[in-house]
Amino acid sequence: MTTDAKLDIGDQIVAYPEGLGRVAGDVVRVSGDGVALEFTMSEHDRILLERRMEAVLLGIPYFRIADRRAHTRIPLSVEATARTIPSGQQFKCRITEISRGGAFIQAVNRPTLGSEIKIGAIRGRVCRLTHSGFAITLERTYSRPITTASADVETMVLTA
């Protein structure tokens, strides 16, 4: 990938190549005006990236939103305290979306990609950073359905 950004080996980046959407990875080689990345993604995301790359090469539009949503997202607004594992560092946050497989957290303090986080009864790993917070992939997928009744979701999130 070519870039004018000053990057070092080991830096974590998130890029949005035209037509491919979001890709995240670690810089593994720096040379001239480019870097090589080792992608940080699940096998499912690798398959989706492959499909997007094929679509770009063939000049076909690829609509990926429906593919990426394995679970229905529920809008939420729950104030909570997050704790990083294993350091135990705590910070205030707000859970704004949750599904059976993940959650989006608004927070001023953003842990690094891959960090393990615990918020109430949920535990997950940071998979995306944004200007307003971060997303986590839950350590386990919840088997019981998540309803739109916010009281039910808050109980599930904040109790063990």
Pair (62, 78) in one structural domain: no
**Structural domains counted in the chain:** 2
Residue 8 burial (CB < 10 Å; 0-12/13-18/19+)?
Answer: exposed
Residue numbers in the chain where pLDDT is lower than 50: 65-67, 145-153, 159-160
What pLDDT does residue 157 have? 55
What pLDDT does residue 160 have? 38
What pLDDT does residue 28 have? 95
Q: Cα angle vertex 100, ends 99, 105, to 5°?
A: 40
What pTM was computed for the model?
A: 0.52
What pLDDT does residue 65 have? 46
- Which residue in 81, 76, 73, 74 sits closest to 158, CA to CA? 81
| E strand map for 16-151 | 23-31, 34-39, 74-85, 90-98, 102-106, 116-119, 122-130, 133-138
Of the residues 24, 40, 66, the one at which a domain ends:
66
Of the residues 40, 66, 92, the one at which a domain ends:
66
Pair (78, 39) in one structural domain: no
Q: Tell me if 107 sits within 8 A of 133, measured CB to CB.
A: yes
Domain extent, residue 40, equals 12-66
| Residue 10 backbone dihedrals phi, psi, to 5 degrees | 100, -15
Pair (100, 133) in one structural domain: yes
